[in-house]
């Protein structure tokens, strides 16, 4: 089916358009199990938007050989001392890799190996490009005062495994210690 013509998309700086774009917002109420400070979480409004994702899925989910892309916008904020962040996931097909490109803001890409024994982080700043190897869980946190936005590109058969993260989390969390984003062992 090499004769299908796909639309050219346009990214304006804060919006993706030009094709059939899937848009979702994740609110605090959708992210119940990811933040460590339960008391701080309970005090915050469930309808507060933590991040938004605009995605383009040119082929059906699960298709081998295609590429999906998405732009994620994480709002600034914290739950207790823990920065606003994405749910995070492994790929369902574990060996599938992904690339992130930071466009705006300041953040950290938090990574964890497959047996959960090692969690580390890479700084994201405008222009930083991050190769996320297969078998590696990934989550992003906004450590700045404005929106953190980044583009993501991943194989269309990769799938998202949220279950493993929702059960066990990452082995470290990213918190603000005297204004410095710091990875600490999960309390
Ligand atoms: C990036 C990609 C997407 C992912 C999104 C939000 O855009 O990795 O696949 O959905 O970030 O992350 P999550 O799905 O973990 O909430
Ligand atoms: Zn991914």
pLDDT of residue 187: 85
- Domain ranges, residue 140: 9-185
| Residue 2 within any structural domain of the chain | no
Closest CA to 140 of 116, 109, 113, 164: 109
Residue 4 within any structural domain of the chain: no
pLDDT per residue over 69-110, tens digit each?
999 999 999 999 999 999 999 999 999 999 999 999 999 999
pLDDT tens digit string along 111-169? 999 999 999 999 999 999 999 999 999 999 999 999 999 999 999 999 999 999 999 99
Ligand 1 centroid distance, CA of 88 (Å)? 7
**Measured distance CA(183)–CA(126) in Å, rounded:** 21
**Token pair in block for residue 19:** 């094709």
Q: What is the pTM of this model?
A: 0.97
Question: Minimal CA–CA distance to 141: which of 175, 112, 114?
Answer: 175
Q: Ligand 1 centre and the CA of 180: distance in Å?
A: 25
Q: Cα–chain-centroid distance for residue 39?
A: 24
**CATH number, residue 132:** 2.60.120.10
Cβ-contact 132, 43 below 8 angstroms: no
In a domain, 3, yes or no: no
Structure token digits, residue 68: 């999906």
Tens-digit pLDDT profile for residues 13-49: 999 999 999 999 999 999 988 999 999 999 999 999 9
Which ligand 1 atom is the nearest neighbour of the CA of 138? 15
Q: What's the CA gap between 32 and 34, in Å, rounded?
A: 6
Other residues' Cβ atoms within 10 Å of the Cβ of residue 24 = 12
3 band by pLDDT with thresholds 50, 70 and 90: confident
Answer yes or no: is pLDDT of 62 > 90.
yes
Residue of minimum CA distance from atom 6 in ligand 1: 86
What are the pocket residues of ligand 1 if the criterion is a CB atom closer than 6 Å to any ligand atom?
53, 70, 72, 86-89, 98, 152, 154, 160
Number of domains in the chain: 1
The span from the CA of 175 to the CA of 170, in Å, is: 13
In a domain? residue 33: yes
**Residues composing the chain:** 187
Alpha-carbon span 82 to 50, nearest angstrom = 13
Residue 117 lies in a domain: yes
Whether 174 is covered by a domain: the verdict is: yes
User: Is the model's pLDDT at 1 over the cut of 80?
Assistant: no
pLDDT of residue 32: 83
Whether 1 maps to a domain, the answer reads no
Tell me whether residue 136 is in a domain: yes
Compute how many other C-beta atoms are within 10 angstroms of the C-beta atom of residue 151: 17
């Amino acid at each position: 089916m090499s004769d299908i013509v796909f639309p050219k998309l346009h990214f304006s700086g804060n919006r993706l358009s030009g094709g059939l774009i899937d848009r979702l917002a994740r609110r605090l109420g959708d992210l119940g199990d990811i933040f460590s400070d339960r008391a701080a979480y309970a005090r915050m409004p469930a309808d507060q938007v933590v991040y938004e994702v605009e995605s383009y899925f040119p082929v059906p989910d699960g298709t081998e050989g295609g590429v999906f892309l998405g732009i994620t916008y994480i709002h600034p904020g914290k739950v207790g001392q823990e920065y606003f962040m994405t749910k995070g996931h492994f790929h369902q097909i574990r060996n599938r890799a992904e690339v992130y490109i930071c466009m705006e803001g300041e953040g950290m890409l938090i990574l964890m190996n497959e047996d959960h024994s090692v969690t580390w982080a890479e700084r994201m700043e405008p222009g930083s490009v991050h190769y996320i190897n297969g078998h590696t869980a990934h989550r992003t946190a906004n450590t700045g005062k404005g929106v953190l936005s980044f583009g993501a590109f991943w194989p269309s058969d990769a799938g998202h495994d949220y279950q493993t993260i929702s059960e066990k989390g990452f082995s470290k969390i990213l918190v603000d210690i005297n204004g410095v984003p710091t990875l600490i062992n999960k309390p």
